[in-house]
Structures are given as C-alpha cells and as structure tokens.
Structure 1
Amino acid sequence: MTEIESATTPAAAHRRPASLRDWLAPPIPGSALWGWLGPLFVTLFAGFLRFDRLGVPKAVVFDETYYAKDAWALLKFGWEHKTVKDADSLLIRDGSDAKIWEDGASFVAHPPGGKWMIAIGEAIFGATPFGWRFTAALAGTLSVLILCRVARRMTGSTLLGCAAGLLLAVDGLAFVTSRTALLDVFVMFWVLAGFACLLIDRDRSRRALAEKVEDGVGGSLGPFVMHWWRVAAGVCLGLACAVKWSGIFFIAAFGIMVVLWDAGARRAARVRNPYAGAIGLDALPSFVSLVVVGLLTYLATWAGWIFKPGGWGRGEVAGNPLLRPLEAMPDLWRHHKDILDFHNGLTTAHTYQSWPWDWPILRRPVAFFYTEPRDDCAAARCSREILGIGTPAFWWGATIALIVLVGVWLVRRDWRAGAILLGFMAGWLPWFVPAFGDRTMFLFYATPMLPFMALAVALALGLLIGPARQATVHLARHAPSANRRLLGSAVAGAYLLMVLVNFAYFYPVLAAKIIPYEDWDARIWFNSWI
C-alpha cells in the first residue's frame, strides 16, 4: 500500500497500541528534513521549467487577450473596462495603457479573483508578457510543492510524495497553463490548497478527538472538536470560486467528504453514536467553515466593483462607503444572473472545443499559439507552437490508476482512494451536464483535475511497490518479499522515467520553441491534435 503500513489499516486494527491517540494519528516515518528537502528540490525543478523563457513568445496567447487586459483594468479602475482593438500591440510593445481604454465597463464571464492574481504580476513587472504570466507560473510552481507534501501526508512516503509532485511538474497541460495568463491554473492552485488544509485538519482533529475521548470528555455523541484548518480551507475554496464558478463543485464534494471523515473518526474512537455525533456536532460548523467563509471570501474579491462606481451593472454608489456592500447586493445578483445566462447560452462552435469524455484520452488539445517563422530557422520550413496538451504517458497512466483506485476503495474502503476519486470527479463529472447541451468547452478546463490524477498514480505506485518490512512480527508478515519490492520499485521508476522522457519529447511544442516542420509533425501523433 505504501512504504510503511499505517497502524490504522485493517491489518493492524486487531492489535491497537495502548494509547488511542497513537492509534488514531500515527506519525509519518522518515526524516522531517528530507520530507522538506525532497519536495523543495522537485519544486525548484518545476519552477525552472515554468519561469525559463516565460516572456516567450512576446505575444498575446489565446485568451490572454481577455484576462491580461482585464487584470490591468482592475489595477487601474477596480473593475473590468472596455479596451480598443489594437490594445494587444500596445501592451506587447511597452506595457503602455495609452489609447487602450474606451468609455464604459466591459461585461465579463468570470469573477475577478483570477484576474486579480494576474494583476499582481502586472503590478510588479508591468503589462508585459512576463508580467501577466508571472503569477500563473508562481501558482503552478507552488502547486508542485503543495502536492508533494499532500502526497507524503497521504502515503507516509517522501519518495511517493516527490513522485506525485514530479508528475505535476512535467505534465504538459500543467506546464502550459502555468505559463499563460489563463484562469484554470489558479482554480487548480486554490482547490489543491484547500484540499491540503482539509488533510491537515483531518490529522489534527483526529488527534484532538482521541485526546478528549481518552480524558472522558463527551457523551454518546462524543466531544466537540474545533476544526480551524477547515476555515483556512473555506478561504482557499472561496478563492477557487472567485476564479471560476466551477470551484463550487469542489466545495460540495469536500463538504460531504469531511462529514464522512468526522463520522469515521468518531466510529474509530468508539463513540457510541458516531454518525449522530458527526451530524449534530460537526456538520453545521463544517458548513460555516466551507460555505459561509467561502462565500465571504468570494464576495471580498468583488470589492473593487462593490465600492467603486462604473462597473458593469453597478452604476452609482452610496455616498457612505459603509452602506455600499448592502446597496450593491441587488446589482451584484443581477450581474451574476447575466453571467449565468451567458454560460448557459455559450454554444458557439470552436475549432478546438472538446467534450469531457474526450479529456482522459487527450483526443482534442488546444493550439494556444502557432506560427511558421522564417527568421532564426535553418530548415526550409519551421514551426513554433504552444500546444495545450497533457503528457500522454502521465494521462493514460493516470486513467489506469484511477480505475485501480475504484477497486481499492470498493474492496478496502481506503479513505485515501475515496478522497482522490472524489476530487477527480468534482473536477470532471460536472462538465458532462452542459456538454449534453452542446456547451463550448476545452481540454484545459481539466486543469484542476491534475493534482488528483498525480495522487492516483502515486497511490497506485505505492500499491505496486508494497509496504516496507517492519520490526514487529505482526506487521512483518504482511510485508512483501524483497524481490517483490525490488521489482515493484523498478517498474515504478521506469514509469516515472517514461513520463519524464515523454515530456522532454513534447517540450518544444509546449514552450514555443522554433523547430523544423518535420520535427513538429512527428510530435502530432493524431490528426485530431492539429
């Protein structure tokens, strides 16, 4: 299952340690120093990939034409403003905002949270390609660090944690969305951060519950435990919704998950009525932590629109700033209805659109940028592209790993398999409903699913390798032979190497490198990739 068998597994459940708190919260083995050095090394590698040549191409790539200018407008006005047609060339040349702005507000299809994040880079480095891509690259890099630590916490293995982070670092779609000023990488970052907070809360709250039960606190429902890390998760998930509304599906999924975790913790602690305790003592505080805190966080990102006049549908504002939030609510509600109507009516066919059932097999990627430059090209014909596609070896391997985890959850009821599957489905299944209504959508909408795909592979590799031998006789007889672990480790290492080589092969068409047309064509494996 992992490099070490947890004391909470069924194999160990019949022989619990004397201390209940030890049984509920076993320590993660291995050096704490290595537990940070390994993930930091992988993160530095991911950061180098993302920040190297970040300003290339010096052009507006795909939907950067919307989000880079909206972010710049947020800095200047506090809300999205209309721009003139030649704004792209003005921004690329010198970052100037001269002659960019027309009169009036611009209708936008997404909340301002992600554009405020893009605006951070523009505030530091100006309205230049490097400036508007800076925060995306930072979010993509930090996501690797968070994922390493999340996987380590879930598996008890620093090696598997680093493997999960490496998979995200060298995934083509994660790489491309981390180097363009689009919104999906920010949804991924905040969802992953929220998931990490919930994992920390799970460990700490179970420890606190164990201590209180040992001390005789609580009746048949068990004691109440405060979940502070859930409040932090609510902030993160609220920010995910403030980037794109698709974040709300993660709030719903994780809300159900934590209540089940609470019931499982109370049952493990031998509370007489664990499910009643979870519903009566944990459900309402969890709703406040995730939903109410998330909603307040979401509204905070609209501050520029709320407190300043002129935004789309905002008009004039109250003279007293303290009255503006309450006064703005009817206008904000109407604005949200307009956004919802826009998305429901978005059925215009697009060259690179795809459906959610296409995503796992990478049937239709997105060409973010393509030119055939004549300069700096030794061949008769050259290509330069940014292809928004995942690393095939990772995506196709992750599909198999997810299927394996379904079996693991059904047979073992492994909470880790359930959490990973739930996170993946929250990012994938909701898109099926609008897909049947011909709603226009693209492969990069799958970006928030990527961390859960990497976690699925890491857990599957842990199953392949098997648990390490332990000093105790009881656990030792459940450990695989040395030959089995050696073979499993070799297969796992070969798979990771294959993903790394696959990414390196596709790197030129992910990073806008100028290559001979024949080399470009060799990387377009299927006609649907053109």
Structure 2
Amino acid sequence: MTQAALTHPPAPPAPAAPASAPRGLLRWAADRAGWLGPIGVALFAGILRFWNLGYPNAFVFDETYYPKDAWSLLHQGYEGTWPDSANADILAVPQHIPLTAAPEFIAHPPLGKWVISIGEAAFGLHPFGWRFMTALLGTVTVLMLARIGRRLFGSTLIGCTAALLMSVDGLQLVMSRVGLLDGVQMFFVLAAFGSLLVDRDRTRARLAAVRDAYGGDTVRLGRRPWRIAAGVFLGAACAVKWNGAPVLAAFGLLTVLWDQSGRRWAGARRPWRSMLRRDALPALLAMVGSALVVYVGAWAGWLAAGGKSGGGYDRHWADSRAGLSPDSVLGAPLPQVPMSWVPAPLRSLWHYHSQMYDFNTGLSTPHTYQSNPFSWLVQGRPVSMYWEQVPNGQHGCTASGGCAAQILGLGTPLLWWTACFALVYLLWRWFFRRDWRSGAVLCGVAGVYLPWFQYQERTVFSFYMVVLVPFLCLAVAQMLGAVLGPQGCSPERRRIGAAGAGLIVLAIVGCFAFFYPLYTAEVIPMTSWQDRMWFTSWI
C-alpha cells in the first residue's frame, strides 16, 4: 500500500463559535431600530391613552355635542336633535337613548364625528366607545411622528425623541382621551405632512437621475400619488374643522417650493419658471382637487339621507328656490342667479355652509376659559374640561381638607416653554442656513397657529393647538439633536451634548408625571391640586 493511501485528508477547520444570544439579539434589534423604536414609543403612548379610558363616566366639556352627533350620524346619516335630559338618559342604567329625527344645526363638518362613531358602533354610546377612536388616533400619531422625524432628520434617535415628547405632552394626552374633534384633525394634518415628505424624497430621486443629463428645466416629474394622498388627508382635516383650510394652503405652497428648489438643484436655469409651468397646476389639482372631493364626500350622509322631506338641517332649502343660487358666500352677499344646472342638494349644502360660516366667525359669547392666541404657546389659559370636588371619605379621598378631580387641557409646561426657544432656533436655521427641514416644521407651525390671530374677537380656546403639538415636538427634537452635536465631533463634545439633551428630556418627562393627575381626573388632595396651579390663570 502506498504512502498516499495511508495519508488521511486534513481535518476541516473548526466552525466559528456562534455569536452569543444577547449579541445576536442586539444586532437583530439594531437592524430594525427604525421600526422597533417607534413602535416601542407608540406602545408606551397607547398605555397612557387607553388606561382607564372610560373614566370619568361623564360627558367631558364638548363631549355633550360630538358623541351624540356621532351616534345620530351612525343611525340617521345626519345630526338629529336631543332633549335636555339626553346626557342623564345616556349615562343612566338602564340606558335610554332619546335621539329624535328632527335636524339640528351644527357648527362643524361631519367627518370627525363619523370617526368617533366607529368606536360607538363597536362599543356603544358609552364614554369608552366615544373616546376609543381619539385614543387610537392619538396613539397612531405618536408612531407616525417617530417615522416622520426619522425621515425628516435622517435619525431614528431624533424621530423617537420627538415621538416620546409628544407621548408625554399633557394636551395631546387629554385630547386623545376625550371625544372631541381636534385630536382627529391632528392625525390628518400630520399624515398629510408625512405624505409630502415621502413625495419630496421620491421627487428628488427622479431629479437625481437626470441631474447630469439635461438638467431640471424640462424633466417631467410624473405621477405623484403621495401628493394626492396629502390632498386627501388635508381634505379630511377640513372635513373635521374648517381650520384645516389654512394648513392646506401652507402645505400646497410648501410642496411647490420644494419642486422649485429641486429643479434648481438638478441644474435648471430658470427653476421658478419651470416650476410654474410644469408643477404648479398639477399640485393644485392633486391637493386642492382631491381635498375638495374628500370634503364633499364627507357630507354623503347629509346628502343621501334627505328623502322627500326629511334629512339634515337645511337639506331641502333649495327645493323651493326655483333653481336660484344662494344669496351669500363666506359672509359676503351675492345676487341670486339661475343655477338650476347645480343639483338642489348641492345648492342647499352651499347655503348651509354660509350659515355655518356666519356662526363660526361671529361667535363671541363670553366663556370662562376662552383665551387669546398670543397666550397659547406659553399655556397662559388652559381649559378646565372636567372638575369635581370630592369630600373626605368619598371616592378614595382621605384628605381632611377634601380632594379634587380635574381634567385640564394643559400642555406639559416645560415642553411648551422649551418649544418657544426651539422655534427661535429653527427660525435662525431657516433664515441664515437655508435649512429646508427647519422651514418644513415652521410651515406646519405657521399653517396651524398664525391664522387664529385674525379672530381676536372670537370665543376661542387653547386646546385647538393640539394640532400644533407634533410640529412643536419636531422643533424641540431638532434643537436637542443640535445640542447632542453633529456627526464627526469629538467624543467629549458628544458626551456633554448627550448629557444636556438627556437632562432636558428627563425634566420634561418629570414635569409630565407631576401634572399627570390633572390630565386623567385622578382624585388628589386639594393641597396637591393647589400645588399644581402655578399661575392664577390656570384656575
């Protein structure tokens, strides 16, 4: 036998030691942090928003209107009237629901109430039922903000920081736990903002493909479904409350300015002219056109439930007008002209909107908790939505001086005051550094906040600014990212920045925890309640 036959083949190399389970789990989590982080923050927010959601078992502030309107929409297609005893009848055991078919004049479009009705259809006309959808949308909004912040700033950490800040904002928590309209509108506005960000990224990718070919003057940007989606969401925001219209205008301007800057970046010699020729009209059709379709569609129940004589308020106004147009628009008188080519239900809807406009712009009835928009950013006059003085020995009160249970529409003070400084920082970044991210956030702030200053004589309330909360949290998160330090800075600079940013976040979370009893109607001693009234204007 030869030597070769006696020689055994060399042993294969030993397999590499498998990575330890914790290390593999960390690697798996790091690869999916873009979703795991936002989902984790959203779960935390959801616990806060759904915990004991049916308490208090009462109609909180304007819940005396919208949940009943939602129930009426669900069963009649339009808002009916209720007797004065309706609230007590609904909360009684056994329950009695005294809805009538007579139409009721309403001040806001129906979509927000349709959204509330989804929870009522699932869980009944009870506090948990009419608060379910606002709590769900408030939670989903936190998830959306984390993803939007990640896309906007290119950082999962900054996106999750913005979402965490919103999850511990008192105003957003309160408006997610009551059956009012503003939390629903916040969801639609933020969804529109996120859609426009996706549209911008996809448009830039198309422009990058031709940047070195023939420039940005002649390229056609093609179909843009995300811009249409933004129009759909903004139409929905307008169909919740009309103050979505200025946001539609602001975001429409924002998207065409992004087109102009994108064409300039792609080498366009005349980016303004190219934008006006190729992008302005498609943007108008995509956003305003789709918004209008959604807005009118939100009135489908009112339009369809008319029958021959019944239906919603003013549903048959045009039937006896011989085809004439309504006599006013936006409060301005108009001559009546033949308009029989417009269906009578749409002419009735036009007239109804004129009445709604007159009501909303002329509302000046004094209210204890009305406030001026100048005070909203500093939380000068929050709205007390629920108040109960609890004697010693009742509902778990053991304080000799009695207890209090309150729901106060107060944004977490330290967060809002920090946001005031953050907005100044963003203005500096946008004006002097031409930072488009700062400009995008400021556009959202302007569209939501500034239009309210034209209604100085109206009865308005600070809780309207829940729609502003996502943009304030993005502003604070961007400023904290700057505190953390830019990429490439020294490790010592990073450590100092991380410590500073972390302390600010911890202080905001601590401030939220301190005021948490006032957000959830927790029964606390009267002395503890007084300790939380930092200013007399909060009482």
With normalisation by structure 2, the TM-score equals 0.87
Distance 1:170 1:444 in 2: 16
Q: 1:32 to 1:240 in 2, by over 3 A?
A: farther
RMSD: 1.8
Corresponding residue SS for 2:65? helix
The residue number in structure 2 matching 1:451 is 470
Q: Which residue of 2 aligns with 1:377?
A: 397
The equivalent residue for 1:4 is none
CA deviation vs aligned residue, 1:451-496 (integer Å, no higher than 9, x gap): 1100100111111122222xxxxxxxxxx22211211111111001
CA deviation profile, 1:151-182 (whole Å, cap 9, x unmatched) = 11111111111100011100000000000011
**Mapped partners of 1:340, 1:207: distance in 2:** 43
SS at match of 1:264: helix
How far did residue 212 of structure 1 move? 3.9
Counterpart in the other structure of 2:538? 529
Contact 2:185 2:237 in 1 (8 A): yes
Percent sequence identity is 47
- Cα distance change of structure 1 residues 129 and 365 upon mapping to structure 2, 3 Å threshold: same
The change in CA–CA distance for 1:439 and 1:317 in structure 2 (over 3 A counts) is closer
Q: Which residue of 2 aligns with 1:235?
A: 232
Contact 2:70 2:114 in 1 (8 A): yes
Q: How does 1:415-426 map to 2 (within 5 A)?
A: 415-426=436-447
Residues 480 and 501, structure 2, Cα contact 8 Å, conserved in 1: yes
Instruction: Determine helix, strand or coil for the equivalent of 1:371.
Output: strand
Aligned mates of 2:168, 2:313 — CA distance in 1 = 40
Cα distance change of structure 1 residues 266 and 504 upon mapping to structure 2, 3 Å threshold: same
Deviation for aligned residue 1:513: 0.4
Q: Distance in 1 between matches of 2:442 and 2:528?
A: 37
Measure, in 1, the Cα distance between the counterparts of 2:421 and 2:87: 43
1: distance between equivalents of 2:72 and 2:111? 13
CA separation in 2, counterparts of 1:267 and 1:184?
Answer: 38
**3-state DSSP of counterpart to 2:343:** helix
Q: Who is 2:77 aligned against?
A: 78
In 2, are the aligned partners of 1:250 and 1:426 still within 8 Å (CA)? Answer: yes
Residues 149 and 474 of structure 2 are in contact (CA less than 8 Å); yes or no, is this contact kept in structure 1?
A: yes
User: 3-state SS of the aligned residue for 1:298?
Assistant: helix
Radius of gyration: which is bigger?
Answer: 2
1:25 counterpart residue number: none
Counterparts of 1:449 and 1:428, CA distance in 2:
7
Does the CA contact (< 8 Å) of 1:307 and 1:325 recur in 2?
no
Aligned-residue offset at 1:93? 2.8
Asked if structure 2 preserves the Cα contact closer than 8 Å seen for 1:221 and 1:272, the reply is no
Q: What is the aligned partner in structure 1 of residue 65 from structure 2?
A: 66
SS of residue in 2 equivalent to 1:386:
strand
Q: How much does 1:326 deviate?
A: 3.3
* Aligned twin of 1:312: 313
Distance 1:94 1:403, change over 3 A: farther
* Residues 309-388 of structure 1: pairs in structure 2 closer than 5 A: 309=306, 310-315=311-316, 326-374=343-391, 375=394, 376-380=396-400, 381-388=402-409
- Please say if residues 412 and 512 of structure 2, whose CA atoms lie closer than 8 Å, have aligned partners that are also in contact: yes
Contact 1:222/1:274 (<8 A) preserved: no
Q: Which runs of 5+ in 1 are unaligned?
A: 1-29, 470-479
Question: How many Å separate the matches in 1 of 2:231 and 2:297?
Answer: 13
User: Which 4+ stretches in 1 moved above 6 angstroms?
Assistant: none
Alpha-carbon offset, residue 108 of structure 1: 0.4
Q: CA deviation at 1:324?
A: 12
Q: 1:94 to 1:72 in 2, by over 3 A?
A: farther
Which residue identity is paired with 1:465?
A: L
Q: How does 1:383-402 map to 2 (within 5 A)?
A: 383-402=404-423
Q: CA deviation at 1:227?
A: 1.6
Instruction: Report how far residue 91 of structure 1 moved.
Output: 1.7
Distance 1:123 1:317, change over 3 A: farther
The one of 277, 285, 290 equivalent to 1:288 is 285
Q: What is the number of residues matched between the two proteins? A: 483
Aligned with 1:482 (options 467, 478, 491): 491
**Conserved in 1, the CA contact under 8 Å of 2:54 and 2:127?**
yes
The 5 A counterparts of 1:102-141 are 102-141=100-139
| Paired residue type of 2:314 | G
Match of residue 404, structure 1, among 425, 430, 439: 425
Residue 70 of structure 1: how far off its partner (Å): 0.3
- For the residue of structure 1 that corresponds to 2:390, the secondary structure is coil
TM superposition shift of 1:226: 2.4
Contact 2:207 2:216 in 1 (8 A): no
Alpha-carbon shift at residue 221 of structure 1 (Å): 3.3
Gaps of 5+ in 2: 1-28, 320-339
Call closer, same or farther: CA 1:123–1:430 in 2, change over 3 Å. same
**Structure-2 change in CA distance of 1:202 and 1:293 (3 Å):** same
Matched, 1:177 2:175: yes
Q: How far apart in 1 are the matches of 2:235 and 2:93?
A: 35
Aligned to 1:26: none
CA contact (8 A) 2:406 2:518 kept: yes
Instruction: Measure how far apart 1:49 and its partner are.
Output: 0.1
How far the C-alpha of 1:214 sits from its partner, in A, is 4.7
For residue 199 of structure 2, what is the aligned residue in structure 1?
A: 201
CA contact (8 A) 1:95 1:126 kept: no
Give the whole-Å Cα distance in 2 for the aligned partners of 1:397 and 1:325: 52
